[in-house]
Amino acid sequence: MFMIAAELIAATQGIGYLLSDGRETSRPDIVIIAIILLAILGKITDSLMKLAVTLARCSQKIKR
């Protein structure tokens, strides 16, 4: 979460920059693509974190 927030605040490249640049140049297509990319990356990250927690719990149960 903090990485994405930092990316959006002071971006000179990347998705945050794409979003800011699209907004400043009045390009709604770029803004929408940047928002969709952020949503997809957020969902992937969330799924990976849930998988990591599940695997950690399973490994703890096996060790007992």
The per-residue pLDDT for 6 is 66
Q: Dump pLDDT digits (tens) for 15-29.
A: 888 888 998 999 999
Does this model's pTM top 0.95? My answer is: no
The per-residue pLDDT for 31 is 93
- CA–CA separation, 25 vs 12, rounded Å? 15
Cα angle 11, 12, 13; round to 5? 95
Where the chain has pLDDT below 50, the residues are none
